[in-house]
Structure 1
Amino acid sequence: MTQTHITLPPEIFKAYDIRGIVGKSLTPEICRAVGQALGSLARERGQSAIAVGRDGRLSGPELAGALMQGIVSAGVDAIDVGCVPTPLTYFAAYELGCHSCVSVTGSHNPPDYNGLKMVIAGETLALDAIQQLKARIEAGELLTGSGTIRSADVRDAYVARIVGDVKLARPLKIVIDCGNGVAGGIAPALFRQLGCELVELFCEVDGNFPNHHPDPSKPENLQDVIRALQETDAEIGLAFDGDGDRLGVVTKDGEIIFPDRQLMLFAADVLSRVPGGEIIYDVKCTRLLAPFIRERGGRPTMWQTGHALIKKKLKETGAPLAGEMSGHVFFKERWFGFDDGLYTGARLLEILARSADPSAVLKALPNATSTPELNIKMAEGEPFALLDELKASARFTDAQEVITIDGLRVEYADGFGLARPSNTTPVVVLRFEADNPAALARIQDDFRRVLQAARPALALPF
């Protein structure tokens, strides 16, 4: 055991990962300490090596280097898999047989952020496990030893695995927008090998993100894809987030197909081979998803938001497919069960290539009147306090069901309203959906009444 005298900013230890501002709340010294703690945990779980990958952020090499120094100081080997999308780091844990990995990534945060997504002995670290990591460092409960650092390149194996699995019925011409994120280093090669002709946007990896922010969940970041579809004969558009684990999809005429509708298409496809399969989705998804899954013989399961929490549920249930409104999609059928925007894009094209008009297939998916994700900014800790209060005392008019697995999701005969505390930032996340605009307005009024009764001074975004 070694003693450590390092101050750890509590705010970087998030629900699903570690994330902070480089040089301020997240430093090489902190990454080294986390590496030693992860190495210690890996050893306790009988593991001897951890794969380390990093996204295209400018701070990646230094922070990944410090992390690996920490890992080897605990007597565990570090396998450097280089600058690759987060799903390739997850893939490396399988391909190299080490079952543990860390992706040094700031995901879709601004350029001055970075962070760590961590898997030890096949378990994605989240919630208490991340807090225990912090406590271990502060208590100095760290093993020592002398591991080695070596390099491995799993990119060819990853592409070969997907190309061997996914078959397109015909060649497609597609737009791909990597937003200067790390997916740009591999996506063009992957989709060409699948037989696609490409219109490439911002596929040069650049941690400054000079063109637009690499977050396809925001419509403003998909405008370049929409324009390219108008100006070329490409049939469909795909966009990836900063670390390549999320996907955005745009039709030929510029309609954004949000991930809960993408999940319908994937569910129908997977259920054709896995009859009666369970499909998991998060509380933010459309209420049209559950009946769609049931009609195709599947079992819908609504669950908490958060990639780590969905992965845990996937493991527990053995479900073949899961997805989140944020764009994380998890295929267990034919794949490994981790979220992977590139593989999800390949599976989407496999389905769409069977049709002469891919956009028509996407546009035919059930749709409803809905809001995007809305946020109420509050002080740290306040969102959880507010939701606890509302769960205890709020009464909603004409509610058919109140679901409390993650905040409050109130189901009405003609729509739903959602309020949940974010696990990553101090906001209450809201989303509304209904059969028509009048029903949407009525449901929002019901939520407004309840929220204003609890916090009269709250500035509501609707």
Structure 2
Amino acid sequence: MSDLSQIVKAYDVRGTVPDQWDERTAEALGAAFAQLLNGSDEPGDAVAIGYDMRGTSPGLAAAFAAGVRAEGRSVIEIGLASTDMLYFAAGSLNLPGAMFTASHNPARYNGIKMCRAGARPIGQDSGLAEIRDRAQALLDKDEPRPAGEPTRAVERRDMLPEYAAYLRELVDLSQIRPLKVVVDAGNGMAGHTVPSVLGDAVLSTLPLEIVPLYFELDGNFPNHEANPLDPANLVDLQRAVVKHGADIGLAFDGDADRCFVVDERGEPVSPSAITALVAARELGKYPGATVIHGLITSRAVPEIIREHGGEPVVARVGHSFIKAEMARTNAVFGGEHSAHYYFRDFWFADTGMLAAMHTLAALGEQSLPLSVLAGEYERYVASGEINSTVTDQAATMSDVRGAYPDAVADDLDGLTLRFPDGAWFNLRASNTEPLLRLNVEAPTRDRMISLRDEVLDRVRR
């Protein structure tokens, strides 16, 4: 019997298949999702469903669709898709949607990201807990669910050409200088979408030479994990950029909703710098607009937003918080340290591809190398995220707070302490593991290292 409390997380469903969940679980979740929609004012009577390259994804998606159809809703199956392509379908068709993916997790995992019509997010506080409880009730019944056989239609629709065309309308890359671009798809869904958006299908119109790495779709991830947040998974891209004399390298995660950037030297460009760069471009198009930034992005981000006439607003880490704040403020753009980038022009949803296109445009519209261009947006020294296994998270955080009585404290998301010299750190607990996550930033490298080591020593005692 599936215990859905183990796999229904704060923002999505995620767990190992088949031991934590299987196609029967997926069918119950599909029925529960449809029940939630049927009790609301969602437009239309269909659900868009997409899936990634994992071997279990097609079967789980089909079972979910059966549950949806049994509850009286039809299905638009978009097939293989990146997560942002599913958001495009939900936004452009104004329908709720479900994407089957475990993003960057290993092959034995799978998951579901669900949204309402217009790509509006569904999290624990906006319907996911209700879906969990409804599905658990269906699974707990001894007899089969009495909703009957699925009777509503399934329409198969290829959204990739429309998705690619829409992105190319938002960012025109046809007039930039020629660029050589190495793209590491990590055997994930970028191998499906990049050729249509940037590569083979449009080479006649875009001055881009794409050097592909691991474009073959393979949910077993034979080359490296599709998680560019881990520096070990960027090594192949970094080497390839230098080897090919490329102008830029792009790395996508498994479902291609996040994009990481490497400069011409093979050095990573921080997501904070990309957030500031894209914010400046969007503010050029929408003067005076609001821009959301995650709590853990560099303090250079709000500085640069203000310098370009925008209004920075900070939000908690996590896509449901960012999207909610964007909708509340009608923000034009949002970015966070995990390389999730959100756009008002994309239904407030996150898309790694659109962020990549903005970066290519910024690079190609001027003559400087990316290392110099990105340097304009890198003002401070950051540690990156450091995880520590901690049994009593609350006690440890209280101890750390007490060690710095003169710092200014902020409890928006975990514990943030700010110091008079501009240094700061954030310490927050993981939602799913016995971990504390530390991020440190300071005006100089020596100060960052000193503060980082002080805090880690206290956390790991």
Scaled by the length of structure 1, what TM-score is found? 0.90
Pair 1:83 & 2:80 matched? yes
SS in 2 for 1:394: helix
Query: Structure 1 segments of 4 or more deviating over 6 A?
Result: none
Which whole-Å CA distance do the structure 1 matches of 2:403 and 2:351 have between them?
A: 40
Contact 2:28 2:138 in 1 (8 A): no
**Distance (Å, rounded) in 1 between the aligned partners of 2:315 and 2:17:** 33
1:159 pairs with 150, 156, 164, which one? 164
TM-aligned CA deviation for residue 445 of structure 1: 5.8
Q: Which moved more, 1:183-192 or 1:30-39?
A: 183-192
- Sequence identity, in percent? 33
Which residue pairs with 1:3 in the alignment?
none
SS at match of 1:372: coil
The count of aligned residue pairs is 441
Cα offset for 1:398? 3.2
Deviation per residue, 1:335-383 (Å, 9 max, x gap):
322111112111211111111234121233223222121112245xx54
SS in 1 for 2:285: coil
Output the aligned Cα RMSD: 2.2
- Asked if 1:249 is matched to 2:257, the reply is no
Letter of the structure 1 residue corresponding to residue 260 of structure 2: G
For the 8 Å contact 1:397–1:446, the answer to whether it is kept is: no
Query: 2:55 & 2:248 partners in 1: Cα distance?
Result: 31
Give the CA deviation at 1:435: 1.3
Cα pair 1:45 1:121 within 8 Å, conserved:
no
How does 1:258-407 map onto structure 2 within 5 Å?
Answer: 258-332=270-344, 334-359=345-370, 360-378=372-390, 382-383=392-393, 385-386=394-395, 389=398, 394=402, 396-399=404-407, 401-407=408-414
Give the counterpart letter for 2:288 in structure 1. Answer: G
Is the CA contact 1:28–1:63 (under 8 Å) kept in the aligned structure 2?
yes
1:124 has 2:121 as partner: yes
Change in CA separation of 1:445 and 1:258 when aligned onto 2, cut-off 3 Å: closer
Q: Is 1:103 aligned to residue 77 of structure 2? A: no
Match of 2:108 among 108, 112, 123: 112
The C-alpha deviation readout for 1:244-293, integer Å capped at 9, x for no partner, is 00001000011101111101101111112222221111122112222121
Change (3 A) 1:349 1:425: same
1:103 counterpart letter in structure 2? M
- Paired residues of 1:280 and 1:319 also in contact (CA < 8 A): yes
The within-5 A match list for 1:102-251 is: 102-122=98-118, 123-128=120-125, 129-140=127-138, 144=147, 146-168=151-173, 169-192=176-199, 193=202, 194-251=206-263
Q: Deviations over 1:217-245 (max 9, x none)?
A: 22211111111111113211111000000
- How far apart are 1:390 and its partner, in Å? 6.0
Q: Determine if contact 1:387/1:407 at 8 Å carries over to the other structure.
A: no
- Structure 1 portions without partners, runs of 5+: 1-5, 453-457
Answering whether residue 52 of structure 2 is matched by residue 52 of structure 1, we say: no
1:34 aligns with 2:42: no
Q: TM-score normalised to the size of structure 2? A: 0.90
For structure 1, which segment, 370-379 or 428-437, has the greater mean C-alpha deviation from structure 2 after superposition? 370-379
| Inter-CA distance 57–316: structure 2 relative to 1 (3 Å threshold) | same
| Correspondence for 1:65 | 62
Structure 2: gaps spanning 5 or more residues: 140-144
What residue identity is the alignment partner of 1:38?
Answer: F
CA distance in 1, matches of 2:446, 2:299: 17
Give the secondary structure class of the aligned counterpart of 2:268: coil
Aligned partner letter, 2:263 = T
Q: Are the counterparts in 2 of residues 75 and 144 from structure 1 also a CA contact under 8 Å?
A: no
Aligned to 2:142: none
1:455 aligned residue = none
The separation in 2 between residues aligned to 1:387 and 1:292, in whole angstroms, is 34
Aligned partners of 1:90, 1:306: CA distance in 2, in Å?
17
Q: Could you tell me which amino acid in structure 1 is paired with residue 111 of structure 2?
A: G
Q: Distance in 2 between matches of 1:143 and 1:88?
A: 34
Q: 1:36 to 1:447 in 2, by over 3 A?
A: same
**In 1, Cα distance between the equivalents of 2:68 and 2:433?**
29
Which moved further from structure 2: 334-343 or 310-319? Answer: 334-343
Measured at CA, do residues 144 and 238 of structure 1 come closer, stay the same or move farther in structure 2, by a change above 3 Å?
A: same
